[in-house]
Amino acid sequence: RAKAEGRNTYRLFSDDMAGETQERQKLKADLRWAIDHDELHLVYQPIMDMQTRSLSSFEALLRWTHPERGPIGPDRFIPLAEESGLIGKIGLWVLRRAARDALAWPAEIALAVNISPLQLKQPGFVLEVTRALRDSGLPPTRLVLEMTETALFDNDALTRQALTELKALGATIALDDFGTGYSSLSLIRDRRFRQLKIDKSFVDGIGSCRDSEAIVRGTINIARQMGFRIVAEGIEYASQLAWLEANGCDEAQGYLISRPMPEKDIAGFILAQTHLSTRLNAAGRT
């Protein structure tokens, strides 16, 4: 009896797994199609300089509109792209498109692009970045490459070499989702990284969780002494922004400032923002 039940359970379980695998396989095939058929697009989320209250950069964020399922988020499809070997092609598409878009922005505004660990390990990656920049005309000094700690965790030779070359190129390398990985403190000793993005999960606790506040304050203090620029991500409340400003954070990003926007809205946003910061600065002086 127990044996029969066990077998039964096993059968159901394996059906489920097959279902999940089929679902993922279908999505992977669809993703392959999506790249060449205009189903992917970028949105951009601004990052603000706290001191000057002006725009410092926009982060490119990838979107997929599936013809039957509608929007699918990058947290879901980037892992599929990584598993199926599509991430190189997708990542390059992102870089080229974003660099072309960014060329239309004022020269003091940088472009941040998220990079998958697998891209870093691909032998021709730095050359592809160099070419994408050259073809678009965007100077490497305007490019910020965001990578998560997990991306850098295994620290293999190809990754190390790519990081060194990207830095030599003049790009800024940022540690994304800082504090959520395994090696945060050892990573910030690495002089190739110049920017650090404090993860939203810590920002969420500002104003309600003393431990989160202690971690954020401590991170800012240490990172500052190491010469990092510190960005806080996922800011939703004015009280969080004020706290971060008071505690020495350099840059701010989050729904409070703006949600990610399509490319066509950027020129208007920049214009409105410039008027606003001019007014704020004037008000501050008088």
Using CB under 6 A as the criterion, which residues of the chain lie in contact with ligand C2E when the complex forms? 45, 61-62, 73-75, 78, 91, 94, 114-116, 146, 176-177, 233-236, 254-255, 260
- The CB-of-99 to ligand C2E minimum distance in angstroms stands at 13
> Residue 278 is which amino acid?
T
Partner in contact with 179, chosen from ligand C2E, Mg ion, none, beta carbon below 5 to 8 Å by kind: none
Q: Which of 283, 260, 282, 279 is nearest to 271 (CA)?
A: 279
Measured CA to CA, the distance from residue 258 to residue 68 in angstroms comes to 29
Contact between 177 and Mg ion by CB under 5 A: the answer reads: yes
User: Rounded to the nearest whole angstrom, what is the least distance from the CB of residue 91 to ligand C2E in the complex?
Assistant: 6
- The reply on whether position 219 binds Mg ion by CB under 5 A is no
Site string for Mg ion, 135-174 (x = CB under 5 A): -----------x----------------------------
Alpha carbon distances (Å) from 271 to 54, 55, 259: 11, 11, 17
The answer to the question of residue 184 lying near Mg ion (CB under 5 A) is no
Contact 97, 88 (CB under 8 A): no
Cβ within 8 Å of residue 5, ≥6 positions away: none
Min dist. Cβ of residue 179 to Mg ion (A): 11
**H or E, element range at 150:** helix 149-152
Distance, in Å, from the CA atom of 69 to the CA atom of 59, rounded to the nearest integer, reads: 26
* Binding-site partner at residue 260 among ligand C2E, Mg ion, none, CB < 5 to 8 Å by type: ligand C2E
Residues that bind Mg ion (CB under 5 A): 114, 146, 176-177, 233
